[in-house]
Amino acid sequence: MSTLAIDAFAPGDSAAAAALERVLFPRQDPWSESQFRDTLGQEHVRMWAARGGDRLAGYAVLGAFGPDGDREFEVFNIAVDPDFQGRGLGRALLAEMLAVADAESAPVLLEVATGNIAARTLYESHGFSVVGLRRNYYRPSGEDAYAMVRSAVIGGSGPQPGEPAAFPEEA
C-alpha cells in the first residue's frame, strides 16, 4: 500500500503545483510556477506539499501577518489533485496549517468561493465561520467569496508545526 505524506513544499514542486492550479481553478486566475517559487522564498509564508509516491497530490500555503505574539494567519491556498480527493488529504493539509496558528494562539482567515460547498463544509468542520461576503472576489470569473474566520485556539492539539504527517492511502 502506498502512502500519502505531507512535508515541506520544495522549489521543484512549483511546476506541478501550477499545473494543478490550472486544473482546479481555471476561472480564478490560477497561480503560475513563478508565483509558487517566489512565494516559497517569503519569510512570512509556510508551504506544504502532499505527495503520493513521487507525485504532487496537493499543497497548502499559509501567510502570517503581524509581530510575534500578536499574529494572525491567512489560508492563501489549499488544493488536492482530483485523483487524490475524498481521502482526507485536504483535511490533513488544513490541520497542518491550523497547527501553526494554534501554536501561536492566533486566528485564521480565508476566502472561499461561494459555490465551493465541499471546501466551505471542511472549513466549518474546523471551526471557521462566515463573517462576510466579498462580491466579485475571484477574477476573471467574477465569482463571489465568503470571508471566513476561525478564532484563536489556545493550546492547539493537532500535529506540531513542521512534524511530517503520513497516513495510508485508501485503495
The active-site residue out of 111, 137, 138, 146 is: 111
* Peptide bond before residue 164 is cis, with ω within 30 degrees of 0: no
> Is 111 a known active-site residue?
yes
108-113/72-80 β-pairing: parallel
> Is 138 a known active-site residue?
no
Nearest-angstrom CA–CA distance, 5 and 92: 10
Q: Furthest-apart CA pair in the chain: how many Å? A: 45
The active-site residue out of 123, 137, 138, 146 is: 123
SS3 track for 11-43: HHHHHHHHHHHHHHCCCCCCCCHHHHHHHHCCC
CA torsion through residues 94, 149, 24, 19, sign: negative
**Cell (9 digits) for 40:** 516559497
Which residues are tagged catalytic? Answer: 111, 123
